[in-house]
Structure 1
Amino acid sequence: MSEFNIPASREQASPSRIAPADAVKNGVAYLLADLGVFGIVEGAQLVVGFAWGVGFAALWAAGFFTGDVEAVFDASLVYALALAQLLTLTVTMPWWCRIRPRSFSSARDRRLPRGDASFMRVAGIILLGVAMQMIISYILSLVLPMFPSLEQGYDEMMNDGATSELSAISLLVVAIGAPISEEIACRGLMLEFSLRAVCPEWCDAWRERACRHRARLPLGDASAMRVPPARFWIANLIQAVLFGILHMNLVQGIYAGAMGLVFGWVFWRSGKMRYNIGLHLVLNFSSYFVGGIDTVLGLLGPIVELAAFMAMLALGVILFWLGTKEGQDPSKVLPL
């Protein structure tokens, strides 16, 4: 089914006719909003990084640190990353909480079936996260040796000691801070603004919902604001590209963009932020165990190993799709 199925007896929202020039203005405005969110995330990292560097230099000059200055500074960067994530959340979380009740994605949030369906959703997320991590690692091990300069820069970035070694602070930053801060910014705000950019015919409807929300009046039925699958994937692609660029590294940006598409689909499919945050968490956490998993499954041979990862990926998608099928509200059907 390509869109929500709403009974005729329920209040319907109607798309407004919008002139091409107004549609372009609407699209530009919300794409600029996407760039604004991008600037917040990237700006938080730059501001904290600069302040951290200045503070570290002052403390080093005062004799607070000893040893290899470069190694000590690299090891301390994980704390700067934690502060940058906290700063990002300080801005994006209230923003997301404000627009969430009247957003396109709010129409996706409905009661999901429990019991076996809950198990399928959780199992699907775990399988997806581990499979994506291992497939990316497998592809990088084959492709990067063909590009020595890219491989050297990528290895230096990933093995800087700040987040590559398992510790309490690195776990907090990699497996908790990054999933929450990045999902709120990218799948929450960026995806919403991208949807508004590609669905200008609903501008009157979401503005009316904004006014009703400020007046604390019932918002009405947001599910009538239909998003065709093609437009969802355009919006999803926009936020995924921005998510990839956020990583400021060609290699990481390419696979992060691909992962962003999956994160966006998981969020849109379930209507609940916790599932894409959970997927992001599993994927990042499993990065600490890539070597061990590869050692065990590598005994089966490279072809069988890759086939096992692909099977895990397919099974994860199927389980999550089945676990998020139509729930207890028979008036809403998920299209994707």
Structure 2
Amino acid sequence: MRVLPINDHLVAFYDGRPAEASVDQSKATWADHGANYVGVATYAVFSGDAALVYDAFPSTAQAQWVRDWLTRKGVRHFVLANSHWHLDHVGGNAVYADSTIMATEKTRQNLIANRAAIESGAYSGPPAVKPLVVPGVGLLAPATVTIGKVTVELRPVNIHSADGLVLFLPGDRLLLAGDTLEDTLTFVAEPESLGEQYRNLAAMKTWGFDHILPNHGNPAVIAKGGYTPALIDMTRTYIRRLAEHARDADILAQPIERFLPEALADGTVSLWWAYREAHGENLAKVSGYYKDHPLPDFGPEK
């Protein structure tokens, strides 16, 4: 676990991102493929004896490490916000069972509907998340939380998944992006809404932030304060090109470099080995879905 201070009231906790040669992929779990191999961060906004923690890692062991660190810093009152319902973001929720846990109402309903499969290990395979602690507060609209003198705006978004929740810190002009943005590339969880996600990304870019901190990204970039809004442009380009090439005869063989030559060349993102698997899954999802459905109407490219 790496602790990456962002400023005097925001800290990132980063785990994973091992070298490819050091892992035995035959023993990999959903937590490895979806989070630990690409690298996973959670964040805490803290002031005085209070903290707002953004996501709870894949496991309770990781989440407990974060809570213990914050406790040593004097934090006694916790609020946890889940960015969305995917297991690598809620696996450690049980560590905050005594605290207020917030998410969108869509996240709550997804977790409730899939609780039995998640707790048995049938949903994504082992390890099971048991007990699965479902957020007690379900947001239907944007909300504001104040931690000391720090204002945090919780904003629901349909990007990556329809139940997404990102955190905007207006005083820092900074966005905690969850899985809406990633380096090297986004996981396509819901190919049916790529057109809407494309438009929502453009709208998000107008919010007035200067830096972006994603849950999956390069720890060196996160440690320096995060990514520029160019990460949004890259993500829009990637999902648009995925859809536009979904019916190519060789779509399943097309490499990452085919879709992101500009962003890789100018350093907006870097190519991390574990994202080749994610890209392959993305190709399969978009080609499978758009084989039988109309391609999205993205509108003019801008």
TM-score under structure 2 length normalisation: 0.26
- Name the structure with the higher strand share: 2
- Name the structure with the higher helix share: 1
Which protein has the larger Cα radius of gyration, Structure 1 or Structure 2? 1
